[in-house]
């Protein structure tokens, strides 16, 4: 690999380019008109303007980015985080253009991008999951019945969700209809997919994520945990490593489970597997982030 394009800006673009330069790889920056004087533009070997300031007219224009990569004979595209980093269609388009997508294959992004598909994929490894259903539901009566069977409180959750959007806690049966409608509406507007599922709400959980790294020869390693239990509206505020609550035994089990989650989707590159840890120290698989993360320096 002689030249890569970094389809991002700011801290992550600099991080990727710094490593590329250490490896003797040339770098291409893309930028919007508003970022003409940004550090990543000056830091790269080459830089190309891809559109006006709004990100949907610049950094989210996958076809334009691929066009630039082709014209400059780029070998690989690194998406960074945010923007197109978890867009399976973009990853697939990069692959089809004969350029290496630096990250997981589009199929792995697709599987882990749907919480229901992810649950299905990891089943064969017997990874513990929060009690709930494995199928999308849109019928309020059915949701109420499922919630009664699982036992309140329950969490209604968007299948395609993330960042705390499309999530609703339901304390009792009388609130099911209202919260269900809100979750579906939020999911549709944020992700274009209104499918939701119902699972047991774990009260006062710890949120533990495990860093994994996989190569193209089937080797998967984990680099232990980051604890991100301090959150506001389901969004992380503080990340800490190592976690103060994990015993060596639980740490080993969670690490093993994270490696198996990565194997379940033939993962490639850096990824993060998220778990909930309840008050009895039982852990449950939550989801996988199929990209680099802001919090890697914590690890």
- Total Cβ atoms within 10 A of residue 137: 19
Which residues have C-beta within 8 Å of that of residue 100, sequence separation ≥ 6? 1, 75, 76, 77, 94
The DSSP call for residue 9 is -
DSSP codes of every residue in 206-274: EEEEEEEEE-TTS-EEEEEEEE---EETTEE---BSS-SS--HHHHHHHHHHHHHHHHHTT--EEEEEE
DSSP bridge pairs for 224: none
Residues 201, 155: Cα–Cα separation, whole Å: 5
Residues 147, 203: Cα–Cα separation, whole Å: 16
Residues 252, 24: Cα–Cα separation, whole Å: 37
For β-strands 196-200 and 167-170, DSSP reports them as unpaired
Handedness of CA 260, 199, 196, 156 (dihedral sign): negative
DSSP bridge pairs for 279: none
Among 15, 110, 226, 291, which one carries the catalytic annotation? 291
Handedness of CA 149, 150, 154, 159 (dihedral sign): negative
9 is catalytic: no
Residues 148, 2: Cα–Cα separation, whole Å: 58
Helix (H, G, I), strand (E, B) or coil at 137: strand
How would you class 20 by CB atoms within 10 Å of its CB: exposed for 0-12, middle for 13-18, buried for 19 or more?
Answer: buried
Residues acting as catalytic residues: 291
């Amino acid at each position: 690999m002689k030249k890569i394009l970094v389809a991002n800006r700011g801290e992550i673009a600099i991080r990727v380019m710094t490593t590329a330069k250490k490896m003797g790889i040339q770098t291409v920056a893309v930028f919007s008109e508003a970022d003409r004087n940004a550090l990543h533009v000056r830091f790269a070997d080459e830089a190309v303007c891809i559109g006006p300031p709004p990100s949907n007219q610049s950094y989210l224009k996958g076809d334009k980015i691929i066009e630039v990569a082709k014209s400059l004979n780029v070998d690989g595209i690194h998406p960074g985080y945010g923007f197109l980093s978890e867009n399976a269609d973009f990853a697939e388009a990069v692959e089809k253009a004969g350029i290496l997508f630096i990250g997981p294959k589009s199929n792995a992004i697709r599987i882990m991008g749907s919480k229901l598909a992810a649950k299905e994929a990891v089943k064969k490894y017997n990874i513990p999951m929060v009690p709930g259903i494995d199928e999308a539901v849109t019928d309020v009566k059915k949701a109420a019945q499922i919630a009664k069977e699982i036992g309140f409180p329950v969490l209604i959750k968007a299948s395609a969700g993330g960042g705390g959007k499309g999530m609703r806690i339901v304390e009792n049966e009388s609130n099911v209809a209202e919260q269900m409608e809100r979750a579906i509406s939020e999911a549709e507007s944020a992700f274009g997919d209104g499918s939701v599922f119902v699972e047991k709400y774990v009260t006062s959980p710890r949120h533990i994520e495990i860093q994994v790294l996989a190569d193209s020869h089937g080797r998967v390693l984990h680099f232990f945990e980051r604890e991100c239990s301090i959150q506001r509206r389901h969004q992380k505020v503080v990340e800490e490593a190592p976690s103060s609550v994990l015993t060596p035994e639980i740490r080993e089990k969670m690490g093993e489970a994270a490696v198996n989650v990565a194997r379940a989707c033939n993962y490639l590159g850096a990824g993060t597997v998220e778990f909930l840890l309840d008050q009895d120290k039982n852990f449950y698989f939550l989801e996988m982030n199929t990209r680099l993360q802001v919090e890697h320096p914590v690890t």
